[in-house]
Structure 1
Amino acid sequence: MVSLCALTAASPTVPALALAAPGGGAPPTPHAAARALHAQTLGDLDTTLHGEAFAHASYLLFAAEADREGHPAVGKLFRSTAHTELNEHLHQAAVLAGLVGTNAANLRRAIDGETYEHQVMYHRFADQAREDGDLEAADLFSEIAADEGRHRSAFRTALTAVTTGRGTVPAPPEADMVPVPAGLPKVKAARTKANLDTAMRGEALAHAKYMLFAAHARQSGNAALARLFEGTAKVEAHEHLAGEAVLAGLVRTTKENLRTAVTGERHEATTVYPGFAERATAVGDTAAARFFRDTAGDEARHAAAFQEALD
């Protein structure tokens, strides 16, 4: 479940950008190495962001299922681990990668992402699901494509307000909260299942990213923009990702969820992050290498805790 999908960076170096603290406090200072990271390191950080965001979202859903089954201690474990994945691992990776910039830069990044999902990704996923006979997934992908178009329009309006002082930031969208009970996949085609996985990871990262953008907007004094980012983040997580999770059968019994978590955390601890650290060390990105090594240690402890709970 939390195995990471490989992504590549667009350029060999990316300038560092200030990152707002999730709680709205003073932003941490990006390490100097973030000013000129190697392309491979940036790609590995991007993979990290996707993986940690998806782990956070998945563990919160697993926690809810544990509560439903009468395992409050396991629910607490999933929630505390989700907190670490988001507020430590993802946050630190975001600082190294220079993920968050000015309000205008954050809006432009959001517009680019929503445009791709609206015009390309979700339309392609819908067409493929329809070809494969997964009509429920096709309908969901089409609905989400339309939502992303509305998000793009709202962000464009907000960008005009931020950059020119004309107009106002739109009100945030309302999320249609989708419950995610334990269940088997509701799709049959391998291609649809793969597309659902890609989509869930994208929605998880959008939620995490928009919450960071919201914290920066609030810190800079733009409460209306913060509310827009927060409201959009809720739609991405509690409506889009949740709907996709139902079709994908992401949540199973608590025993199965713990097994999934153990497998994913062990893979990250023994293979993914040590490999990232080795590559970062080889190109001189020492701060990133140290982060990857530290994160590998955390994931090993997570795996042990999940295994203990399973036992």
Structure 2
Amino acid sequence: MTASLSDIKAKIQSTEKTSKITSAMKMVSSAKLVKAEAAARDFQLYASKIRQITTDLLQTELVTGSDNPMLASREIKKSGYIVITSDRGLVGGYNAKILKAMMDLIRDYHPDGQDYSLIAIGSVGADFFKSRNMPVAFELRGLADQPSFEEVGRIISRSVDMYVNGLFDELYVCYNHHVNSLTSQVRVQQMLPITDLDANEADSERLNSFDLEPNREAILDQLLPQYTESMIYGAIVDAKTAEHAAGMTAMQTATDNAKQIITDLTIQYNRARQANITQEITEIVAGANALE
């Protein structure tokens, strides 16, 4: 019985240490989430402005159609997917959700496995796809908790260049969209060709208030890739926010579970201790009776 009490007490102490670690990790993830949400709000301001300018410049093309490679749809021979996961675990079902969604998408739309290419952002996704011999064109690991555009700019511009050069005919970004601290949603969002602009949002009077230099076409040649790159960057910021929220929730759940285990073990310890005391009393009484 004594050994059993020692084992239970050791488990309680070990679980208490684990609880302290998960509680600290939850606080770290919470702090990261606050910064990520602020970064996401700042990006939305920029995104709304660049969308406004791009829509104004493209008003005619959005109505009549365009042969610009960033806008014109073409025969789909190969698809490109930017898949965003984390670089490590301890984030609950964050990675499992997006990877399962991607496997379902590939099974439904690319059964032969030859007409798509993956760009993996995050070690979990890169390792997952490579272990299954799936076509990973390139990857980015070790992304910062608050990624700057400079950090991800190379992989984003390379993805856009691959589309422009015809290595694939459409480009999607696949990630977990941050809804709130408890919820995220898998998104598969088309980035190229650009299809999310609405001619009804254009304002010709606003455009006429600008002097365009050198000319409208030259500006569009620079602006459209920048617009796409900014939208992809926004998805990365969004995904990072969802990752921090998932990490915070997972660590809170782990802390709560540890506390419940401690409670259960404490009850078990007290019962075992009471049984031990009862056994000792019984033995003392039996010994006393034997002496009478």
Q: Give the shorter-chain TM-score range.
A: under 0.3
Give 1 or 2 for the bigger CA radius of gyration.
2
- TM-score, normalised relative to structure 1: 0.21
Which structure features the higher share of helix residues? 1
Which structure features the higher share of strand residues? 2
